[in-house]
Structures are given as structure tokens and as C-alpha cells.
Amino acid sequence: MKKVLSVCLLLTALTVNAQTADNDTIKNWKIGGTPSFTFNQVSLTNWAAGGKNSVAGTFLLNMYFNYSKERVNWDNTLDMGYGLTKQGSENMVKTEDKLYFTSKLGYQVDGSKWYYSGLLDFKTQFDVGYNDPPENTVKLSEFMSPAYLNLSLGLDYKPNDNFSLYISPLTSKMTIVMDDSLSNAGAFGVDEGDNLRSEYGASIKLTAKKANLIKNVDVNTRLDLFSNLNGMHNAKNVDVDWELAFNMKVNDYLSAIASFNLIYDDDINYIDENQVEHGPRAQFKQLFGFGISYKFGQ
């Protein structure tokens, strides 16, 4: 939780500084984002129908720092979220946890809509995840366990600021598992006892957004595909990470948020509640919330 608060305070300071900076200093930059917080609470006293007291909250932040001058284009995106829920006297349970940063530097190809580009892509989570909530005794994940770092070179088709199709035939994917207990178990595809797994192949990243798809509803989507082209692996087993999000505006400060995330990674085995390990399976997460939201920037 301390990691989340530290990052939030740092980002708030950077945002305030960016908005109060001299316009000439940041004229080539576009900086903005959407922080939001949803909260719900149920309190029961002598309630004949039964039930449990509960409290839940989720913080989400999506920010962009984009630079453009002449033929140079540098896009940076930070997407983070953290949520907890608690029922009665049970332990807190994590409901949302993500930290995702991407940085893409491109050089325009002779006035066209294509760019020679390089991409850095990093994903992890803030907090411990468990397989047996609310008991919280069997650890599944931790900060930097796993973390994914992708470095790639390719071509980016970018007709406008709302759409990008990045194609890379040269991609390095590194899976990092710093927690010793998870590393020793060979979690997330690393060899037992190793903290790093390296793969080389090809990747595609598609991002798109549309303001006012219908009145007061913004939509954005991201699709990441990676194929390991190492001869020892089946290139048809493509890793998939697809996210679709809707932001439904009520007024300047109230909104409803709906997001959907589908993941498939051939190196991640599914472990059921009885701690029986199965093969890789599609992972699906859905989030819906109503709360405070504010959109800032250009």
C-alpha cells in the first residue's frame, strides 16, 4: 500500500508542476490524464435478512506525456490502479492491482504516417496477490514478481493522436520474478531458482481511443501480441493482452467506469483453489465502478 501512495504523491506533484509551468517550456508536450476513485460501503445492524458489512475502494489513473517536434514523436503512457475490499472481520482482499508504463520514440518516414520506432514496455503490480482470499496464506504474486519488460524495434503507423499500430519483428521479452519463493517454484515460466526468463520474437501493439463514441462516453482499447520465435517454442502460441475501457461522464467530477481485460500467456499455468496446477488458460477481469473522476490536460 505504501508503494501505491508514494507513486500517487509523486504523480500529483509532477502534474501540478506541469500545469503551472511556462507555456514556452512545454509547448511541444501534451500532458494529461484521468484520475478516478470509486468507493462503496454497506453497513448492517440487526439486519434480519442477513449479510455482512463491507467496504471497497478502487483508485485508477491513466496519464500520458507526449512530445512532438518536426519529425520526432515520443509517446509515454502510465496506467495504474489499486483496489481493496473487506467484508466483516475478514482480511482485506485485493480487487485491482496494476502498474503499466510504455514509452515509444519514433522518427517520421518522409512525411508519411509511418515512423521508425523503438518501444519500451513495462508491466507489474504493487502488492501481494493470494490464491486463497480472504485467508491470504498462498502467495501468487508480488511487486516485481512477475514483472514484464519488452524492448523492441519496428514501424509505427500513426495517422493521428488517437490511433497507433506498432509492428516489431525484433522484440525482446523479459519475465522477472524477484520473489524467491515464486522463483524457486518456477512461477510464470522462469526456470526453478531463476529470477529472469528471456524470450525473443515478434510483437504487435495496437492502441486506439475515441472521445464521445456516444454522448459523454469515451472508449479506449489496447491490444498487445507477442510470439516467441525461438526454435524450441511454438510460434503459434501467441501471448495476448487486450484491454477495453469505457469512461461514462455524468458531470465534470462524477463518472462511471467499465473495463475488461483478457490475458493469455502460454508460460502461465492456472492454479485452482486446491493448489492443483493446470495448463495455461485465458484470464479475464471485469471492473465496473461509479465515483469521482476528473479529466485534465490537452
Q: Residue 229 — φ and ψ, nearest 5°?
A: -95, 10
**103 close to 119: Cβ distance less than 8 angstroms:** yes
Q: What does the mean pLDDT of the chain come to?
A: 88
* Average pLDDT of the segment spanning 131-144: 91
Beta carbons within 8 Å of 184's beta carbon, 6+ residues apart: 192, 193
How much is the pLDDT for 24? Answer: 47
- Neighbour count for residue 220 (Cβ, 10 Å): 20
How much is the pLDDT for 54? Answer: 92
CATH code, 2-43+52-297: 2.40.230
Q: Which residues of 112-128 are buried (b: 16+ CB within 10 A; e: fewer)?
A: eebbebbbebbbbbbbe
C-alpha cell belonging to residue 283: 484470464
* Whether the predicted pLDDT of 277 surpasses 80: no
* Average pLDDT of the segment spanning 65-76: 94
* Average pLDDT of the segment spanning 293-297: 84
Phi-psi region of 16 (alpha: psi -120 to 50; beta: other; left: phi over 0): alpha
* Average pLDDT of the segment spanning 11-24: 49
pLDDT in tens, 188-241: 989 999 999 999 999 999 999 998 999 999 999 999 999 998 765 666 789 999
Q: Residue 93 — φ and ψ, nearest 5°?
A: -125, 135
SS3 per residue for 140-189: EEECCECEEEEEEEEEEEEEECCEEEEEEEEEEEEEECCCHHHHHCCHHH
Q: What whole-number distance in Å separates Cα of residue 62 and Cα of residue 83?
A: 15
* Whether the predicted pLDDT of 134 surpasses 90: no
* Whether the predicted pLDDT of 145 surpasses 70: yes
- Which range has the worst mean pLDDT, 16-20, 70-74, 263-267? 16-20
Q: What whole-number distance in Å separates Cα of residue 99 and Cα of residue 4?
A: 9
pLDDT band at 298 (very low <50, low <70, confident <90, very high): low
How much is the pLDDT for 294? Answer: 86
How much is the pLDDT for 146? Answer: 95
Strand-pair partners of 64: 32, 77
* Whether the predicted pLDDT of 171 surpasses 50: yes
* Whether the predicted pLDDT of 20 surpasses 50: no
* Average pLDDT of the segment spanning 101-107: 97
* Whether the predicted pLDDT of 5 surpasses 70: no
H/E stretch holding 241 reads strand 239-249
* Average pLDDT of the segment spanning 160-188: 95
* Average pLDDT of the segment spanning 119-137: 93
How much is the pLDDT for 23? Answer: 53
Q: What whole-number distance in Å separates Cα of residue 164 and Cα of residue 267?
A: 27
pTM of the model: 0.86
Of residues 271 and 127, more confidently modeled: 127
How much is the pLDDT for 233? Answer: 63
Strand-pair partners of 165: 157, 206
Strand-pair partners of 257: 247, 289
| Chain centroid to CA 69 | 28
* Average pLDDT of the segment spanning 251-258: 90
* Average pLDDT of the segment spanning 159-168: 95
C-alpha cell belonging to residue 51: 449479510
- Neighbour count for residue 250 (Cβ, 10 Å): 11
